[in-house]
A = this chain, B = another copy of it.
Amino acid sequence: MQAIGPTNALYPMPTTLVGATVNGKPNFLAVAHVGILNHGTPQYLSIGLAKAHYTNAGIQENRTFSICLPSEDLMIETDYCGLKSGRNFDKSTLFDLFYGELKTAPMVRQCPVNMELKLHDVLALGRHDIFVGELIQTYADDTVLKDGKVDIAKVRPLLFDMASARYWSLGTPVGQCWKAGKALEK
Contact = CB atoms under 8 A, between A and B. Distances in A.
A26 to B, nearest CB: 16
A156 to B, nearest CB: 9
A182 B83 CA distance: 8
Contact of A3 (B125, B137, B150, B183): B137
Contacts of A100: 3
A178 B83 contact: yes
Report how many copies the assembly holds: 2
Interface string A1-26: 11111111111111010000000000
Given A2-B139, A10-B45, A139-B4, A166 B170 contact: no
A177 to B, nearest CB: 5
A96 to B, nearest CB: 10
Given A75-B174, A169-B171, 11 more contacts: A4-B150, A12-B159, A12-B170, A33-B37, A83-B185, A149-B163, A159-B170, A165-B179, A166-B177, A167-B174, A169-B174
In the A-B complex, list the 7 residue pairs whose CB atoms are closest, starting with the nearest.
A35-B35, A80-B181, A169-B171, A79-B181, A38-B128, A79-B180, A171-B171
